Chain A
Amino acid sequence: MDDLSSLITGFQIALSWQNIGFMAIGVILGIVVGVLPGLGGPNGVAILLPLTFGMDPTSAIILLSSIYWGALFGGAITSILFNIPGEAWSVATTFDGYPMAVQGKAAEALTAAFTASFIGALSGVILITFVAPLVAQFALRFGPAEFFAVFLLTFCSFIGMGRENRAKILASLCIGFLLAAVGLDSISGDLRMTFGSTELMRGFDFLIVVIGLFGVSEILLTVEEGLVFKGKQARIDLMVVLRTWAGLPRYWATLIRSSLVGMWMGVTPGGAIAASFMGYGLAKRFSKRGKNFGKGEIEGVLAPETAAHAAGTSALLPMLALGIPGSATAAVLLGGLLVWGLQPGPMLFVEQKDFVWGLIASMYLGNLAGLIIVLATVPLFAAIMRVPFSFVAPVILIVCAIGAYTISNSIFDIWLMLIFGIVGYVFKKLDYPLAPLVLALVLGDRAEDAFRQALLGSGGSLHVFIANGLVTTLVILAMILLLWGPVSDLIVTARGRHAGKAAEAAE
């Protein structure tokens, strides 16, 4: 109850006209940097930081955290329209979001993505509001063995069910792991698989690989069918938002499941990326329409977006309570705190009550302001699909090149993007699935690090992975999810044969 009155005070602080204005500016700027690959939250903050010195810390952090919300919402836009995820956690959104756009349902997909982000983020904020200290304590129970178990769970929930050519799934997964291993191995401090090249020493950045594999290759595939965009006959008006909303309640199970997965993954430091893949994987398995996933199912947009944003928001909690930023943008918020002489950590909640509750209140308001603003832009972004291909395609490719370059100021990376574009084109035509590759690339080295940290600590004994209730539960869950697909397949085939025989007998 003490918390509740603190929250109300927080709302009073956040709800001044001035602060609402800051929220709007922050959100709009956030969307801009979220849409353009190559720009991110840090760039937006760099512009605004000088302006914040005249403000009190609460207003300043409201302005800066609104950029965070805007960037979160903005990341989904390019995923859906052009199959180019701007952030790692938007990858799973492309699986169904882009097919929807191709079918002329870009506006529905955007609305679904934004609404799902809002629901996810809201559940994260509610979590922060009511159980912050408790949850922060829980996060401390995660050592390297538990980290590894969380990653294992993510892999198993996503991979176990694949029905494509299994050898190709395996090959694709291996490529992801191997790409992730290139560069400096943080456990031994040695370089791996760089073959003396300083360019390879940085390793393969996720964004470059994904811009190539998803974005560039998609453009190459599109032009095979002629030099036009697919799905440009979309009817676009603001009513689309309401019509889409009307259909959402029937996906309540997916929304709740993804929110829970997201909150869990955000607090345990699995993070938004793992959450989005797991949310998608679980929805595909447990939804009645799971078979249609990947062909433009709206549930396939809702599931990863809700999970990613529930996780992204819950991840702010460890940052505030423990001082560990979960993403580059969260790091910028952390930087903001430091500039004003606020030390994040367990004492922040005690010593800077006004500030913390003002920030939490602004999360509610910023998230809502973000939703309203992005929904208003749905027709605008959906209309991009009507611009002639010969104009949009070069602009997309130029922006992709800029995005690849800015990651580490290297022209070599633009070539890499191009090569991965061609690889993606060939792989798609030969039915190699790309999602396992991306998942392994993003989480592979972190999973490996955690595994080896755990074994360093246990003196090489594998017992560390069944050492306590938490880690054992996670590992068992992972095994269940891994085997669910093949086993249920077996059961279905067995039944099918049975039914077939029965039918024969009846004849």
Chain B
Amino acid sequence: MSGSAETEAPERGISRRPVEIATAAILIGLGLIVLWDSYGRGAGWDNGPQNGFFPARVGWLFLAASLFILFQSFRSEDKIFVTYAQLGQVARVLGPLIVFVALIQPLGLYVASAVFILIFMGVIATSRWWSIALTALLVPLACFWIFELQFRVPLPKGPLEAMLGY
């Protein structure tokens, strides 16, 4: 089911050229922002370089390199950047990961980790339900024991920990 099926017919997917062009365009945009910021603060020479001097010089180089990459991308032959099958696999990891990071603020890191493990292992669906549940319970507990109790590194905590008095 994964992208490893080697067949003669090319697999369907996102092609490389638009991704190259989009990336180069973003880099060009960043370069312009850097130049705007650096010249705003002074990028000249006043008894030694001013604080925008370096970023501005690097910014020009960066802009030149990005423009060249943009130019290159029109000439290079087009290939598949990522097949839809591969993209699906990546999304199955990236999706739960984004949910995890989003949940850290409201729920605290430990509860968010438990939710993350449940979703992640559930989506991948290669484990039995009880081993998923056990992992979701034990990993956050182990983290809590190591970081909070042993090394005394405070991690973000939510309502559950507050209820338990931490």
Asked if the two chains touch in their complex, CB atoms less than 8 Å apart, one says: yes
Residues of the A chain whose Cβ atoms lie less than 8 Å from the Cβ of B116? 394, 397-398
Segment at the interface with B among A292-300, A329-337, A406-414? A406-414
A441 at the A/B interface (Cβ < 8 Å)?
no
Known pairs A177-B58, A224-B3; A391 contacts B121 (CB<8 A) = yes
Q: How far is the CA of A47 from the CA of B51 in the complex (A)?
A: 42
Docked complex Cα distance between A39 and B151 (Å): 8
Indicate if the CB atoms of A193 and B121 lie closer than 8 Å: no
User: In the assembled complex, which residues on chain B have CB atoms less than 8 Å from the CB atom of A418?
Assistant: 97-98, 101
Do B93 and A219 touch across chains, with their CB atoms under 8 A apart?
Answer: yes
Query: Is B163 close to A, CB under 8 A?
Result: no
Q: How many A residues have CB within 8 A of the partner chain?
A: 65
Contact (A223, B89) CB under 8 Å given A181-B54, A398-B143, A452-B49 = yes
B104 proximal to A (CB < 8 A):
yes
Q: Are A397 and B156 in contact (CB under 8 A)?
A: no
Report the count of interface residues on B (CB-CB < 8 A): 67
Which residues on the B side are within 8 Å of A168 (C-beta)? Answer: 65, 69
Per-position 1/0 for B30-42, Cβ under 8 A of A = 1000100110010
Which residues of chain B have C-beta atoms less than 8 A from A426's C-beta? Answer: 19, 23
B140 → A minimal CB distance (Å): 8
Is B61 touching A174 in the complex (CB atoms < 8 A)?
yes
* Contact A397 to B100, CB < 8 A, known contacts A168-B69, A178-B58, A388-B127: yes
Neighbouring A residues of B104 by C-beta, 8 Å:
401, 405, 411, 414
The residue that A460 contacts in the complex, of B47, B52, B98, B135, with Cβ under 8 A, is B47
Contacts of B48 in A (CB 8 A): 452, 455-456, 459-460
Q: Are A227 and B139 in contact (CB under 8 A)?
A: no
Is the pair A415, B101 in contact by a Cβ cutoff of 8 Å? yes
Whole-angstrom CA separation of A426 from B23 in the bound complex: 9
- With A192-B55, A220-B93, A429-B82 as known contacts, state yes or no: A225 contacts B143, CB within 8 Å: no
If over half of B's interface residues share one DSSP class (helix, strand or loop), that class is named, otherwise mixed; here it is helix
A40 → B minimal CB distance (Å): 10
* A171: B residues at CB distance < 8 A: 27, 62, 65-66, 69
Q: Are B72 and A167 in contact (CB under 8 A)?
A: yes
Evaluate contact between A393 and B113: CB separation under 8 angstroms. no
Tell me the smallest distance from the CB of B122 to a CB of chain A, in Å: 10
If A219-B93, A223-B93, A460-B48 touch, does A36 touch B146 (CB 8 Å cutoff)?
yes
CA distance A112 to B137 in the complex (A): 37
Contact B93 A405 (CB under 8 A): no
Kindly state whether residue B124 has any CB partner on chain A within 8 Å. yes
Contacts of A389 in B (CB 8 A): 124
Contacts of A43 in B (CB 8 A): 151-153
Residues of A within 8 A of B126 (CB): 227, 388, 390
- A359: min CB distance to chain B, Å: 25
Whether A405 touches B155, Cβ cut-off 8 Å, given contacts A398-B113, A398-B143, A460-B47, is yes
Query: Cβ of A341 < 8 Å from any Cβ of B?
Result: no
Is residue A205 within 8 Å, beta carbon to beta carbon, of the partner chain?
A: no
A190: chain B residues at CB < 8 Å are 41, 51
20 A-B residue pairs with Cβ-Cβ distance under 8 Å, sorted by A, are A168-B65, A171-B62, A171-B69, A178-B58, A192-B51, A195-B37, A226-B4, A227-B89, A393-B93, A393-B120, A397-B97, A398-B117, A402-B143, A405-B155, A406-B153, A411-B104, A414-B104, A430-B81, A452-B49, A460-B47
If A220-B94, A224-B3, A405-B104 are given as contacts, then 8 extra A-B residue pairs at C-beta distance below 8 Å, sorted by A number, are A43-B152, A174-B61, A178-B62, A190-B41, A390-B120, A391-B121, A398-B116, A411-B156
Listed from nearest, the 6 A-B pairs whose CB atoms lie closest are A174-B62, A455-B48, A188-B51, A171-B65, A224-B86, A226-B2
